[in-house]
Structure 1
Amino acid sequence: MRFLFGLVLLSIFGCSMKPVDSQKINGVSFVASGIAIDSSHTKPVASIHANYAAIMPFGFIQDLEHPELFFNSQRQWFGETRAGVKQYIESLRKQNIKIMLKPQIWVSHGAYTGHIDMESEVDWQAFENTYSRFILEFAELAEELQVELFCIGTELDYFIKNRPEYWHNLIETIKEVYKGKLTYAANWDEFKRTPFWNDIDYIGIDAYFPLSDLQTPTIEDCKNGWQIHKPIINKYADSLNKPVLFTEFGYRSVDYTAKEPWKSDRSMTEVNLSAQANATQALFETFWEEPWFSGGFVWKWFHNHDDIGGETNNQFTPQNKPVESIIKSHYQLHN
């Protein structure tokens, strides 16, 4: 009788269950450098029990209205080129680390990519052509190397809002080239407007949600802050029957780090290791046990582990800070 009841429940609810991986994606955002990497650079990633790394080749535009994207150039760092991306992937795989390939745009002077907005139809078409070349270049490499996950764009709000048909067509073209899983990295305040989640595998969110106005928020302060956002994320994922992936997450080791976590303002100089650790712990405790949540990629991890970060560093990297042990503990628990 219990067996039959179980079959009935399965028939009712089985089709609505989300295709979540059994193993969480415990990832790092691996920053490109000017050199080839080797085991001295990849073993620290494995040592924190990361099972994924995001590899991020960049394309560059001069300003928010410039229609031409430059990429895979000898003027770029090795790790941002096609050859460098391939070498990084092959090196990380020697540590049994899976890959998300995540090509991104950098606008001169650090302007926000979500505001890229061409001034004419001619410029839009030119920009679309160059963006397609950029993305497909790396989609082809992703297929060649059997990369597990490919991210089709990062924080491109206006581009998607103004050119939705282009994006649906781009996804179809990517699928002709690359047969693995797809995501898109929507900004924390953008994901509910993204129109093509049904066409890809994960709802990708760069999770810089505001949580607390306190100088040094406690773990509980940050967990309380998540109660504003988490039900919205969960409900949205349920409505689309898609798992959520934090394509980026992390906090600077500064005062007020959970107030506006996306800020890289140079005026924020006071080092606050406790604030970074508490906010990160709260994120893990809030999301990593949820069945609809697939994991995420901590922002950001540099190749030269022994020389980066540390207790006087006020940037995002967790390396050689108390938060690194928190990440290691949680990744080990969910590996």
Structure 2
Amino acid sequence: MRLIFHISILLLCCACSLTSPKIEKINGVSFVASRDSVSEKNIKPVVDLNANYAAIMPFGFIKNLQHPEIIYNTDRQWFGETDEGVKQYVQTLKKQQIKVMIKPQIWVWRGEFTGLIKMNSEEEWQELEKTYENFILDFAKVAEDINAEILCIGTELENFVAHRPKFWTQLIKKIRTIYKGKLTYAANWNEFTKTPFWADLDYVGIDAYFPVSDLKTPTVADCLQGWNAHLPDIKNVQQTTKKPILFTEFGYRSFDFSGKKPWLIGNYDANPNLEAQVNTTKALFETFWKEDWFAGGFVWKWFHNYEQSGGTKDNMFTPQNKPAEEIIRQYYKK
């Protein structure tokens, strides 16, 4: 009788393991805010990509890297950058079964890098903390109201994090009292190993602009080899924190040397190179999407007006209307 009991338990355990649902990858797009509201027509291309998530990105603005005041949710901003716009975008996405990450971001005048934001006095740091807390907590309330699945608490703010770590720990606690979903932070590709509060979040978020090749048109094999330089750090942080890795942004421009400095946003006259974008994109998917510890990511970037976006003469990040779009579609379908 005891033998029969043990066999029954064993069979039950095996059956449970066989039927356990596989964790769904986050197959996301970074859905760019616009002047206008969006409709089902604007969301259909996202669905056709086999995406299941979209990052919605309201913006706050500061005058310069030493200025502590963040201006946000004003009548002078585009509709999609305001709380009203965020709610309308999310409602429209969710009608098409697209989940969302709310990702409030800062824009420094003239596009200066947010990682360099640094105050000159204790008083200015405290003012920045106050205004940033208001910015994030307001959108945490929005995220809770619209049942957003993920909230990203900051994007590429290396100096701010390094100089004021206690502020971030306290901020996360305050966010948790308002918002009940998952939390992450979007660390820059060369910042994430130093971020001190991963234990307090649900995902290790990385804006994954890692350099993978110095070649004009790298092959997939070249880029796969290039990832070997970064995988040890990524795996080490994952194993240390026991948190899944989420690429809060990933993508490559469709121009020459796209894998050399993937973070570059200038050089608008550079020659388009669609093959370089395809090969770098393929290598990223082949490196990460099969890993259990990897949660997925959000391709940078996706515009609401699909028909007018991207195209074979475009040298920017968006994969829309380029061969890279079909690559993403295939991997997202898997």
Given the two structures, how large is their TM-score scaled by the length of structure 2? 0.93
Name the structure 1 match of 2:178.
177
List alignment gaps of at least 5 residues for structure 2. Answer: 14-20
Give the distance between the partners of 1:77 and 1:65, measured in 2 at CA. 25
Map 1:2-41 → 2, pairs under 5 A? 22-41=23-42
Q: Which secondary structure state, in structure 2, belongs to the residue aligned with residue 295 of structure 1?
A: strand
Name the structure 2 match of 1:292.
293
State the one-letter code of the partner of 2:262: P
Please state how far the C-alpha of 1:55 moved relative to its aligned partner.
Answer: 0.1
Name the structure 1 match of 2:102.
101
State the one-letter code of the partner of 1:206: D
State the one-letter code of the partner of 2:72: F
Given the two structures, how large is their TM-score scaled by the length of structure 1? 0.93
| Contact 2:66–2:120 (CA under 8 A) maintained in structure 1 | yes
List alignment gaps of at least 5 residues for structure 1. Answer: 11-19
Name the structure 2 match of 1:52.
53
Map 1:1-335 → 2, pairs under 5 A? 22-266=23-267, 269-333=270-334
Would you identify which runs of 4 or more consecutive aligned residues in structure 1 move more than 3 Å?
Answer: none
With a CA cutoff of 8 Å and minimum separation of 6, indicate the structure with the bigger relative contact order.
1
Q: Deviations over 1:201-234 (max 9, x none)?
A: 0000000000000000000000000011112211
| Contact 2:193–2:233 (CA under 8 A) maintained in structure 1 | no
Give the distance between the partners of 1:274 and 1:332, measured in 2 at CA. 21
Give the distance between the partners of 1:250 and 1:314, measured in 2 at CA. 12
| Greater C-alpha Rg | 2
Please state how far the C-alpha of 1:177 moved relative to its aligned partner.
Answer: 0.4
Q: Deviations over 1:85-123 (max 9, x none)?
A: 000000011110000000000000000000000011111
State the one-letter code of the partner of 1:247: T
| Contact 2:256–2:272 (CA under 8 A) maintained in structure 1 | yes
Q: Which secondary structure state, in structure 2, belongs to the residue aligned with residue 22 of structure 1?
A: coil
State the one-letter code of the partner of 1:118: M
Give the distance between the partners of 2:205 and 2:284, measured in 1 at CA. 16
Give the distance between the partners of 1:95 and 1:323, measured in 2 at CA. 23
Q: Which secondary structure state, in structure 1, belongs to the residue aligned with residue 72 of structure 2?
A: coil
Give the distance between the partners of 1:322 and 1:196, measured in 2 at CA. 38
Aligned residues with identical type, % of pairs: 57
Please state how far the C-alpha of 1:266 moved relative to its aligned partner.
Answer: 2.0
| Contact 1:149–1:180 (CA under 8 A) maintained in structure 2 | yes
| Contact 2:274–2:312 (CA under 8 A) maintained in structure 1 | yes
Q: Which secondary structure state, in structure 2, belongs to the residue aligned with residue 160 of structure 1?
A: helix
Please state how far the C-alpha of 1:57 moved relative to its aligned partner.
Answer: 0.1
Name the structure 1 match of 2:17.
none
Give the distance between the partners of 1:125 and 1:287, measured in 2 at CA. 39
Give the distance between the partners of 1:254 and 1:299, measured in 2 at CA. 15
| Contact 1:254–1:268 (CA under 8 A) maintained in structure 2 | no
State the one-letter code of the partner of 1:36: S
Q: CA RMSD in A?
A: 1.7
State the one-letter code of the partner of 1:149: I
Aligned length: 320
Name the structure 1 match of 2:18.
none
**Bigger shift: residues 29-38 or 267-276:** 267-276
Give the distance between the partners of 1:152 and 1:329, measured in 2 at CA. 30
State the one-letter code of the partner of 1:186: A
Q: Which secondary structure state, in structure 1, belongs to the residue aligned with residue 230 of structure 2?
A: helix
